[in-house]
Chains A and B, each alone.
Chain A
């Protein structure tokens, strides 16, 4: 009680999570729970380490290595890492012990894999009746395409995002990285917290079948409704906006530096012209109304870029925002680490990684006034917490532990 009053208590204190999961979609759900106080065990094996350790840069100093992956790091801070070879004889019993310890199991294998391992929901709820299990995969656990594997970039295209990104006269652009996986992460966290709340209310466990394809579609609803109702397909259109102009990214001083400006009203347009010292544009017959600005948008963009190209993106951002105009810097990955606002929010907490050294975690985008996130441990090295987890959390004796290692179950 006292701790709580000191605002130290976290939302998921005493909640235990086990992940049979790899890459981004599964592990990041556990990460967000761990940021808010859950104890999360990430299960791998030496035979099958997390794919991010093996197949996906960046690696520190570009040297591949099991504990050198930046992708793995971003998805797994605050967790405990163990190696449990689920295919070894006798491993199932150990996995059952883990499940008894857990409140939540997260897995993102191809559908059917957990069943083959004897760890599907029907089985594990016999061991722990109020267990919450989340399965997240590409197409969902059921249906004709359930077994089809896919990575996030492919799914970006299937969900319709690729088609609506880029310029009409060019090939569509692919969204960066496994975009849809991350939509699945947000909805995964939502689903797990919903299941915890359900358990709190009723004492019941839950099985959650989350298809990344389906959650991706939640981000596309207006385009679907437009086809459904008006039989019109939304086409990619650069940075153009249906009813705003100027609305684009504009070149600024420096190499590959850009700002964005979005003007939605005549008042904003007037302010912009004054700030650009181009009051002549206000009476220019090409730009007087929003209808005209939309008609002459290319010319309009040229006029804006004549101004922006003489200044830095940072200068434009400050000048315009201080005067209430919606403008921004196209920040690159360096800029966002230096961004004063993100840093003010503690978005990049500093961590020490035993092999890589000083690195940063990435925080949740929301701050809870009484129970804020805490990110204080870097992602685990492969098998880093075997002794801690098997002996302390699960209660194996020294001898039992040695035997598990000898039998290749821990390994």
Chain B
């Protein structure tokens, strides 16, 4: 499938002016073959200082966070706060299809290089602007971290133990939501441009991007003025009685996720778990005699749920994650172990699907394993094509295209433009 085939976005040149909040957008375009050029300030982007680091060496060329979302990009440095830098940018714009940027609203305008100016140089230009709250509106100048955006989007109110403050996943998730949605909007604009020849400006709100991570929770308020609450290791909202269902159980060597569900798959699962427990002599009489076909998840009470879960809890303490995983696969039950990075990288299914790809980092003289595609297409190549760039690694080859020679580059370096 991946022979020397033309990549979908091979003719698409992207200038990527994003910090960590927008990395993923350019990466996704790069996965589809776009020529994405990461533009950093001279000396490198501050987001290169985000850990973890390769072998714990804190070095801007060794950030694993940077590697994770900047592969499939080339890298140049350019100081757009200088007149010379802006002239160089305008030259680059002539051959650029898409700009992705995460500057504060108004910043590019103050430099005289906002969308309205740049689209006069290149009317087909698409510009995707990513900010915490959007280009306009009452919060447009407010700042956002992962924590702030998860809170302001509503997502965090649904997460964490009721007796503790609301909580965020320890690996930042908001930047991924933002980058993914930014790629959606950018690709839509690119497709539209293909049809009409017209570029446009895509205004992405980080806050709004993460509202979608709250799934159907907004519907509870919209329909019934109910406010779903965080429930720790339980899920809420499945029964009109308000009953909570446990979603994380301790097992012999960690945790598993098993949830009492309704519907055909849920009922099948409930039955099979009861049989499994019975085969080990651990199913109480009430469970053995339960008519699962009549079990109605939408009206079940907390009392009934607690009774079933108590028996489940005792049983799960006696099995391992691996035993559980094998059993659910073999018996077509719903449920999975609570995995760590280790188990994900050892998973049989992902290996068989060919997800992993070793990428050589010659500066480290080491191979690092990455997930290689986000989907399998019948004919569109989607892959990891190159590792993340070093600081200014492609200055020479990119700037040569616009007529700058080696001598010019030395001068520009000394003038702190690149």
A377 to chain B, nearest CB (A): 16
Closest to A251 in B: B165
A140 to chain B, nearest CB (A): 6
A224 to chain B, nearest CB (A): 5
Bound together, the chains give a CA A177 to CA B377 distance in angstroms of 28
> Chain B residues near A175 (CB, 8 Å)?
159, 169
B59 to chain A, nearest CB (A): 13
Closest to A335 in B: B154
The reply to whether the CB of A118 lies closer than 8 angstroms to some CB of chain B is no
**Binary A-proximity of B222-240 (CB < 8 A = 1, otherwise 0):** 1111111110111101111
Bound together, the chains give a CA A223 to CA B171 distance in angstroms of 7
> Chain A residues near B65 (CB, 8 Å)?
222
> Chain A residues near B259 (CB, 8 Å)?
151, 153-154
Among candidates A215, A366, A367, residue contacting B374 with C-beta atoms closer than 8 Å: A215
CB atoms of B336 and A157 under 8 A apart: yes
CB atoms of B232 and A166 under 8 A apart: yes
Given A173-B159, A260-B148, the answer on whether A341 and B133 have CB atoms closer than 8 Å is: yes
Among candidates A154, A163, A209, A370, residue contacting B200 with C-beta atoms closer than 8 Å: A370
**Binary B-proximity of A284-306 (CB < 8 A = 1, otherwise 0):** 00000000000000000000000
A189 to chain B, nearest CB (A): 5
The reply to whether the CB of A193 lies closer than 8 angstroms to some CB of chain B is yes
> Chain B residues near A398 (CB, 8 Å)?
none
A332 to chain B, nearest CB (A): 4
CB atoms of B380 and A174 under 8 A apart: no
> Chain A residues near B374 (CB, 8 Å)?
187, 190-191, 210, 214-215, 218
**Binary B-proximity of A319-344 (CB < 8 A = 1, otherwise 0):** 00100111111111111110111101
The reply to whether the CB of A178 lies closer than 8 angstroms to some CB of chain B is yes
The reply to whether the CB of B376 lies closer than 8 angstroms to some CB of chain A is yes
SS of B interface (majority): mixed
CB atoms of A217 and B248 under 8 A apart: no
Q: Which of B86-94, B179-187, B278-286, B393-401 contacts A (4 or more CB under 8 A)?
A: B179-187
CB atoms of A163 and B64 under 8 A apart: no
> Chain A residues near B310 (CB, 8 Å)?
none
The reply to whether the CB of A167 lies closer than 8 angstroms to some CB of chain B is yes
The reply to whether the CB of A194 lies closer than 8 angstroms to some CB of chain B is yes
CB atoms of B353 and A187 under 8 A apart: no
Q: Which of A82-90, A274-282, A357-365, A383-391 contacts B (4 or more CB under 8 A)?
A: A357-365
Bound together, the chains give a CA A51 to CA B166 distance in angstroms of 30
Among candidates B24, B189, B219, residue contacting A70 with C-beta atoms closer than 8 Å: B219
The reply to whether the CB of B4 lies closer than 8 angstroms to some CB of chain A is no
Q: Which of A52-60, A92-100, A101-109 contacts B (4 or more CB under 8 A)?
A: A52-60
CB atoms of B51 and A242 under 8 A apart: yes
The reply to whether the CB of B149 lies closer than 8 angstroms to some CB of chain A is yes
> Chain B residues near A336 (CB, 8 Å)?
153-154, 211, 218
CB atoms of A151 and B261 under 8 A apart: yes
The A221-242 residues at the B interface (CB cut-off 8 A) are 221-230, 232-242
CB atoms of B153 and A227 under 8 A apart: no
> Chain B residues near A363 (CB, 8 Å)?
208
Interface size class of B (residues with CB under 8 A): 35 or more
**Binary B-proximity of A141-153 (CB < 8 A = 1, otherwise 0):** 1111111111111
The reply to whether the CB of A201 lies closer than 8 angstroms to some CB of chain B is yes
> Chain A residues near B192 (CB, 8 Å)?
11, 368, 370-371
> Chain B residues near A183 (CB, 8 Å)?
176, 180
B256 to chain A, nearest CB (A): 8
Closest to B142 in A: A321
CB atoms of A55 and B196 under 8 A apart: no
> Chain A residues near B232 (CB, 8 Å)?
166, 170-171, 173-174
> Chain B residues near A191 (CB, 8 Å)?
374-375, 377
The reply to whether the CB of B306 lies closer than 8 angstroms to some CB of chain A is no
Given A173-B161, A206-B380, A233-B340, the answer on whether A344 and B137 have CB atoms closer than 8 Å is: yes
Among candidates A226, A228, A337, A340, residue contacting B222 with C-beta atoms closer than 8 Å: A337
CB atoms of A64 and B168 under 8 A apart: no
The A116-169 residues at the B interface (CB cut-off 8 A) are 121, 139-167
**Binary A-proximity of B155-172 (CB < 8 A = 1, otherwise 0):** 111111100111111110
The reply to whether the CB of B117 lies closer than 8 angstroms to some CB of chain A is no
Q: Which of B37-45, B77-85, B364-372, B404-412 contacts A (4 or more CB under 8 A)?
A: B364-372
Closest to B165 in A: A249
CB atoms of B145 and A51 under 8 A apart: no
> Chain B residues near A204 (CB, 8 Å)?
379
> Chain A residues near B257 (CB, 8 Å)?
153-154, 156-158, 162, 174
The reply to whether the CB of A36 lies closer than 8 angstroms to some CB of chain B is yes
Closest to B224 in A: A58
Bound together, the chains give a CA A339 to CA B217 distance in angstroms of 16
> Chain A residues near B176 (CB, 8 Å)?
183, 218-219
> Chain B residues near A74 (CB, 8 Å)?
216, 218-219
CB atoms of B248 and A340 under 8 A apart: no
Bound together, the chains give a CA A64 to CA B67 distance in angstroms of 48
Given A142-B353, A333-B221, A345-B208, the answer on whether A224 and B166 have CB atoms closer than 8 Å is: no
Bound together, the chains give a CA A207 to CA B380 distance in angstroms of 9
A204 to chain B, nearest CB (A): 6
The reply to whether the CB of A71 lies closer than 8 angstroms to some CB of chain B is yes
The reply to whether the CB of B121 lies closer than 8 angstroms to some CB of chain A is no
CB atoms of B208 and A333 under 8 A apart: no
CB atoms of A140 and B329 under 8 A apart: no
CB atoms of B337 and A158 under 8 A apart: yes
Given A333-B218, A336-B153, the answer on whether A190 and B187 have CB atoms closer than 8 Å is: yes
CB atoms of A328 and B184 under 8 A apart: no
Closest to A214 in B: B355
CB atoms of A208 and B376 under 8 A apart: yes
Bound together, the chains give a CA A144 to CA B51 distance in angstroms of 35
Bound together, the chains give a CA A213 to CA B133 distance in angstroms of 29
CB atoms of A366 and B341 under 8 A apart: no
Given A164-B170, A197-B194, A340-B138, the answer on whether A154 and B334 have CB atoms closer than 8 Å is: yes
> Chain A residues near B51 (CB, 8 Å)?
242-243
B166 to chain A, nearest CB (A): 5
The A1-41 residues at the B interface (CB cut-off 8 A) are 4, 9, 11, 24, 32, 36
B203 to chain A, nearest CB (A): 4
Given A179-B215, A194-B377, A328-B147, the answer on whether A248 and B169 have CB atoms closer than 8 Å is: no
CB atoms of A337 and B218 under 8 A apart: yes
The reply to whether the CB of B32 lies closer than 8 angstroms to some CB of chain A is yes
The reply to whether the CB of B111 lies closer than 8 angstroms to some CB of chain A is no
The reply to whether the CB of B122 lies closer than 8 angstroms to some CB of chain A is no
Sample 15 A-B pairs with CB under 8 A, ordered by A number. A150-B336, A165-B170, A170-B232, A190-B28, A206-B377, A207-B377, A210-B375, A226-B341, A239-B147, A251-B165, A259-B151, A321-B142, A341-B133, A341-B207, A366-B203
- Starting from the known contacts A61-B224, A193-B184, 18 additional A-B residue pairs (CB-CB under 8 Å) come to A51-B263, A57-B237, A62-B224, A71-B219, A163-B338, A172-B233, A173-B167, A173-B248, A190-B28, A219-B171, A239-B165, A325-B143, A328-B144, A329-B152, A333-B226, A335-B154, A368-B188, A371-B192
CB-based closest 6 A-B pairs: A177-B215, A70-B219, A366-B185, A365-B208, A227-B341, A344-B137
